[in-house]
Amino acid sequence: MKKILFLSGIVTLAACGNNKEEGATTNTDSLSTLPIVSVQTIEQSSFEHFFELQGTLHSEQEALINPEFAGTIKTIHVKVGDRVSKGQTIAIINTDIVQSNLLELKKNLEMVTLVYEKQKNLWEQKIGTEIQFIEAKTRKESLEQSVKTGETQLSKGTVIAPFNGVVDDVFVKVGEMANPAMPIARIVNLDEMYAIAEVPENYLGVVKTGTEVRVKIAQLNYDKRAKISRMGSYIEPNNRSFKAQIDLENANQQLIPNLISTVQIRDYHKDSVIVVPSAGILQDAQGNNFVYTLNADMIAKKVLIKTGKAFDGKTLVEEGVKIGDKIVVDGVRGINENDKVQEKK
């Protein structure tokens, strides 16, 4: 009987021990279930607001190269993608007929010049008539002009680049006919690129030369700050807008004409203000904006705020919080006022 009582006491103690362990585990779980949030300490900063438009890229120099002389394409000296310098030969047009005519003109000029010199000497000696001298002089001057015209035509058989750039396209092949109405190639200067945006007229008092902008081209991962370099002085009646030009850097030649870009134009800027992440701002049932601030014990407190402009995930706060306040910026929707939280590591 004593043995049975002794064993019963052991079982009872063991059971009590188990209950204590379970209770301890419950307390640990309670600490681990505190909401985890990201915290930011408010600092003084600057705030910018931009409005967004669509822009189109252009080259400062872009030209279709038309020949000034009609004839058969003899040689083509460039291909698509080649970089060319001003004055570099693009193509040569067959000028055999012009050369032949020019040679004949020069021979005739030599003969006419000889006749003129003789008539001039005779006239100076008062021999012969003035009409003979004038006729000889007129024939000589007429042929001289014809030779100059021929030489000019001959030079036009060589088609040259009008500026430094890249050959964007070649429209002809060797052996085809060229004429002034048909372009031979297109050349683009990619060193001097700019974007054009059409700005609504209600921004006329805000946007001016020198206004800060951001130009973005998603497919090129291009995101650059620049300034408006030129302003249009005409309101387009169809859409009530004016043009703004933004000169762009293109050191690596990635920008090309007619690309579509996003142009963000700054219409507000202020230094030494309070800015908070927009994701940390909530709105209550009465439509009031608020944030949760945290005290030293990490207890959340609801604080009403007055907000200003918002842009790019940031909001200007005009009233309600001060520099040095700690606010919840991530995980804010999972807590309530007076909740104790823990900061995300």
Bridge-based pairing of strands 165-170 and 185-200 is antiparallel
Cα–Cα distances in Å, from 249 out to 108, 178, 220, 253, 255? 57, 36, 14, 9, 9
Under the banding of pLDDT at 50, 70 and 90, the label for residue 270 is: very high
At 312-336, the pLDDT tens digits run 999 999 999 999 999 999 999 999 9
What is the Cα–Cα distance from 79 to 85, expressed in whole angstroms? 14
Radius of gyration from C-alpha coordinates of the chain? 42
Q: Give residue 30's pLDDT.
A: 54
49 vs 111, which has greater pLDDT?
A: 49
CATH tag for 52-60+185-269 (out of 1.20.1630.10, 2.40.30.170, 2.102.10.10, 2.40.50.140): 2.40.30.170
Q: Give residue 12's pLDDT.
A: 39
Q: Give residue 5's pLDDT.
A: 37
At 231-251, the pLDDT tens digits run 999 999 999 999 999 999 888
User: So where are the chain's domains?
Assistant: 36-47+271-343, 52-60+185-269, 67-178
User: What's the rounded mean pLDDT across residues 262-287?
Assistant: 95
What is the Cα–Cα distance from 251 to 164, expressed in whole angstroms? 15
Owner of token pair 């904006």: 289
Question: Closest Cα to residue 300, out of 279, 276, 329?
Answer: 329
Q: What share of the chain has pLDDT > 70, as a percent?
A: 91
At 201-215, the pLDDT tens digits run 999 989 999 999 999
Question: Closest Cα to residue 80, out of 198, 179, 196, 166?
Answer: 166
Cβ atoms of 188 and 62 closer than 8 Å: yes
Does the domain made of 36-47+271-343 have the CATH classification 3.40.350.10?
no
Question: Closest Cα to residue 154, out of 93, 91, 89, 77?
Answer: 93
Q: Give residue 231's pLDDT.
A: 94
What is the Cα–Cα distance from 3 to 48, expressed in whole angstroms? 85
* Burial of 225: CB neighbours in 10 Å, binned 0-12, 13-18, 19+: exposed
Cβ atoms of 194 and 60 closer than 8 Å: yes
Q: Which tokens is 30 given?
A: 């309670």
Number of H helices, E strands in the chain: 3, 20
295 vs 150, which has greater pLDDT?
A: 295
Q: Give residue 31's pLDDT.
A: 52
pLDDT at 340 over 60: yes
